Amino acid sequence: MDHDHQDLPSDPALRVMALESLLVEKGLVDPAALDALIDTYEHKVGPRNGARVVARAWVDPEFKKRLLADGGSAITELGYATQGREHLVVVENAPQRHNLVVCTLCSCYPWPVLGLPPVWYKSTPYRSRAVIDPRGVLREFGLDLDKDVEIRVWDSTSEMRYLVLPERPAGSGGMSEEQLAELVTRDAMIGTAKVTLTGAQR
């Protein structure tokens, strides 16, 4: 099969413009719906959603229980699964256990709670190495885990999506749920970082 499609212009921007114009003319897509889809993930849905889920779990033990038992139902309590359900599993870090999420086969990622994935998550180095060399990958992220810490890598091969519940940082006892959410980074919820009091590199 010819996958090169020389018929469309080679510059991706021009190719996409030509394709969109054809599809609009055929009545297959509505440009306003495209704008709304883009706006959703540029401005409305992103890692702040996941951060609020994590902060809630840190301050509300009953919510945390529900979240770990059925993540997809629990996030509806915060309004993050508009269908009322979601295929989501939340995995909890502990002093001796660290979780890391990858999709070796493509780019599966928990969109409703983290938004669209960063380029590195979809990159060949991350996809190829996270399962065979998680410690090496984590060191590149500045996380050097003790060899006694158990690492669990979650390869997202199905429609189930995975979110890491990071450890609450020491010294955060007096903070409000809102302040805690500010500490939680995207990378901490993928498992390539820990949450720190100075954290907020997203």
Partner 1 sequence: MNGVHDMGGMHGMGSVAREAEEPVFHERWEARVYALNRALAALGKWNIDASRHSIERIPPSDYLRMSYYEKWLAGLVTRLEESGLVTRAELESGRPAPGAVKATPPLTAERVAATPTERDWFERPVNAAPRFAVGDRVRAKKIHPTGHTRLPRYARGNLGIIDRTHGAHVFPDSNAHFQGENPQYLYSVQFSARELWGEEAAAHDSVYIDLWESYLDPA
Closest to 166 (Cα-Cα) out of 48, 51, 63, 60 = 51
**Which 161-200 residues touch partner 1, going by CB under 8 A?**
none
- Please give the Cα distance from 51 to 47 (Å, whole number): 6
Least spacing, CB of residue 57 vs partner 1, in Å: 19
- Please give the Cα distance from 152 to 98 (Å, whole number): 6
Smaller CB distance to partner 1: residue 38 or 197? 38
- Please give the Cα distance from 103 to 109 (Å, whole number): 8
- Of 157, 179, 197, 200, which one interacts with partner 1 (CB under 8 A)? 157
The runs of H, that is alpha helices, within 40-115 are 47-59, 61-69, 71-74, 111-114
- Judged by CB under 8 A, does residue 37 bind partner 1? yes
Smaller CB distance to partner 1: residue 157 or 176? 157
Classify strands 150-155 and 97-102 as parallel, antiparallel or unpaired: parallel
The residue from 10, 21, 73, 106 that is catalytic is: 106
- Of 59, 78, 89, 143, which one interacts with partner 1 (CB under 8 A)? 89
- Of 60, 77, 92, 155, which one interacts with partner 1 (CB under 8 A)? 155
Active site residue 128: no
Q: How many helices (H) and strands (E) does the chain have?
A: 11, 4
**Beta carbons of 185 and 199 less than 8 angstroms apart:** yes
For residue 91, give both structure tokens. 């995995």
Active site residue 172: no
- Of 65, 107, 176, 200, which one interacts with partner 1 (CB under 8 A)? 107
- Of 52, 57, 80, 191, which one interacts with partner 1 (CB under 8 A)? 80
Active site residue 10: no
**Which 114-143 residues touch partner 1, going by CB under 8 A?**
115-116, 118-120, 122-132, 134-135, 137, 140-141
- Judged by CB under 8 A, does residue 66 bind partner 1? no
**Beta carbons of 193 and 187 less than 8 angstroms apart:** yes
Least spacing, CB of residue 149 vs partner 1, in Å: 8
Residues with catalytic function: 103, 106-108
